[in-house]
Each structure stands twice: as structure tokens, then as C-alpha cells.
Amino acid sequence: MNQSGNGVLVIAEHICKSHVSMADAFTAVETTFAAMDSGAAVNFPVVRQALGHAEALYGFKSGFDMRRMTLGVKSGGYWPRNQAEWNIANHQSTILLFDPDSGRLRAVVGGNYLTPLRTAAASAVSITHLARSDAAVLGIIGAGQQAPFQLRAALAHHAFQKVVAWNRSAAALSVLADICAEKGVPFAAVPLAQLAASADVIITITAAHAALLEAEAVRPGTHIAAMGTDTRGKQELDPALCAAAALFTDDVTQSMSIGEMQHAAASGTIGPGDITPIGAVINKTASGRPHDDAVTIFDGTGVGLQDLAMARVAVQRALQAGVAAHVAI
């Protein structure tokens, strides 16, 4: 973000979709987690609030990566009526990048595509660093907007031999079945108990507020990426499962306050010292999977630095391709 002048780059959603790849996202997210662990990048406190209008949640995630001189904020949230009433995505977000030397606005980047892409990349990073190398069966719980991104990212970064999936509405799983057919990977829609009993890696990507996976249902050696909507009250996993597993996250404070670990933390069965930042595993300053039979859990809460890293890549790719719009201000 060193371009001169007072203009602002505008990177539209269609540019992000056509120029930012999953490989870009994986590298950006993995590098960001490592920078967070080293202290070179800092997330600022999250603001997230119910609007009291349109049943919407709205908030800000921001931070500063000193290593890459990336400063900015993502503004957005969740409007549950959007798809039905306006035929637009329920999740809406925009990323603003600023010049860290002067504070001037440098880029406005569409965040609706980059957000699910970076979320899927985060779970893929966790699979790469925490799952057993011989993990063969991938389980997906949930079939919303995020699920296809999660499936594509997982298949791109690990050689799974089969995918099993569950959703409250089984019909919605057809999009996942189509992706598996495209990739030549066998797919089966299964009951939740069968998924837990057969999957080596499980990705949960729901808006649940009650446990979907109980401690006794998950077999030894499973890696779980808990990627569902993070807010107060969210829950996809049994707190007893969290208490018995090796725990990892992108941000410990968020995990314990708005993430999957909030319930186990509230009961006193885990504390901050029981959760390892995944950046420390990437940097090899902390151990990852303790042993083959351990259950590992990555709680992906989503941090502002991920969004800023993705926006930075989008700007780079758009400039390289000559498709960035420049607005004089």
C-alpha cells in the first residue's frame, strides 16, 4: 500500500472473485497467523452489536500488520433477510485499507467473497498443521454459504478419500455433492452420529447455539475445525469435548469470549493457558498434535488481520492485472 497521491483504489467484488485464489488465501492466512504469534501483527478489539433493526448484527474488525505495513478495518455483518427479500448475500462486508504512515485511505475492497475465502483458508491451515497425515474421511456439518468454500479448501490442501456431510435440511447438501463429483471424491449424506463416528477431520460451519458434537461421539484422533458463526452464545461442540481435547485457535481472547471455547471457559474447565495460538504451531514455537489418538480442535473465530491480508492480496492482484479502479479524492 505504498502508491502515491491522494486517490483511492476501489477493488470490486467481481475483481476479488476473478483474481484472488484459494492458494492466495491459504498463504495470506497462514502468514498472518505466524505474524500474530511473533508480535509483528496485532488485532484490535472487535465491535459487534445487534442493530435492533432488520434482525441484523453489525460490527468492525481491525488491526495492523507492521511486517507488511497493512492497516485497516473490515466493516460489516449479517442481515438474515437479505437473500429472501433482496436476493443478495446475508453476509455483507467491506474492507478499508489505510496508509500507516499518514492515515490516508488507500483502498476500498469488497469483502463478501474474501471473507468466506479466508475463513475456509483458516480451517485448511488448521488441517495442514493439526490433522493426522493419514486422515482419509472429511466430515462437513452445515450446508450454508460458507460450506462450499470450506469443502474446496479442505480438498485442495489434503488428499481426502471420501466426504461425508450432514445438514438439518438434507436437500441443501446437493451443492457439496456436486463439488465432490467435480473433484472425483466419493460423497455421502449421513446422519450426524455416523459422521462423527467415521470422519477423521470434521468441519463445523453452522450458526448453532447448542452442541452438535458430543464428547463421546467423536473418535480418538479426530481433528475438528469449529468455524461456525462467532458471537455470544454460539455453540457447536460439547464443552466436555473441548475440555478433553488439545485446543488451538486464531485468537485466544476471542475464542473464550465469542468463540467455541466460551462455554468451557465459563464452566471453569479450561483457561487461556489451555488454548494454543495456531501461529505458534506454524512458527514451531509450540507443539501441535500431541499424539495420533488425540482429539484436536481449532476454533476459527475470524480476526481482522485475516481480512486485511486478503484485501492486500486483492489490491496486488488487481494492480498487476490493471483492473483496479482509481478514484480521486
For residues 200 and 296, membership in a common domain is answered with yes
For residues 86 and 56, membership in a common domain is answered with yes
Grid coordinates of 64: 495492523
For residues 187 and 291, membership in a common domain is answered with yes
For residues 61 and 166, membership in a common domain is answered with no
Q: Give the tens place of pLDDT for each residue, 136-190.
A: 999 999 999 999 999 999 999 999 999 999 999 999 999 999 999 999 999 999 9
Q: Which amino acid is at 54?
A: A
Expressed as residue numbers, the domain containing 229 is 119-302
Q: Give the tens place of pLDDT for each residue, 24-44.
A: 999 999 999 999 999 999 999
For residues 175 and 222, membership in a common domain is answered with yes
Give me the chain's average pLDDT, please. Answer: 96
Q: Give the tens place of pLDDT for each residue, 207-254.
A: 999 999 999 999 999 999 999 988 889 999 999 999 999 999 999 999
Using DSSP, state whether 299 is helix, strand or coil.
strand
Looking at residue 229, what DSSP letter applies?
A: P
Q: Which residues are catalytic?
A: 74
- pTM of structure: 0.95
Domain assignment of residue 182, yes or no: yes
For residues 158 and 228, membership in a common domain is answered with yes
* Counted domains in the chain: 2
Report phi then psi at 134, rounded to 5.
Answer: -95, 15
Cα separation, 1 vs 315, whole angstroms: 8
Contacts of 111 (CB under 8 A, 6+ apart): 74, 76, 93, 94, 95, 307, 311
For residues 60 and 202, membership in a common domain is answered with no
| Helical (H) or strand (E) element with 212 | strand 209-213
Segments of 12-90 assigned E as strands: 41-43, 47-50, 57-65, 70-78
Among left, alpha and beta (phi > 0; psi -120 to 50; other), residue 70 is beta
Report the CATH number at residue 312. Answer: 3.30.1780.10
pLDDT at 168: 95
Using DSSP, state whether 283 is helix, strand or coil.
coil
Averaged pLDDT, 285-291: 97
For residues 108 and 136, membership in a common domain is answered with no
Cα separation, 179 vs 185, whole angstroms: 9
Place of cell 442481515: 79
Domain assignment of residue 3, yes or no: no
Domain assignment of residue 243, yes or no: yes
Domain assignment of residue 285, yes or no: yes
For residues 154 and 286, membership in a common domain is answered with yes
Grid coordinates of 93: 462486508
Report the CATH number at residue 210. Answer: 3.40.50.720
For residues 103 and 242, membership in a common domain is answered with no
Using DSSP, state whether 309 is helix, strand or coil.
helix
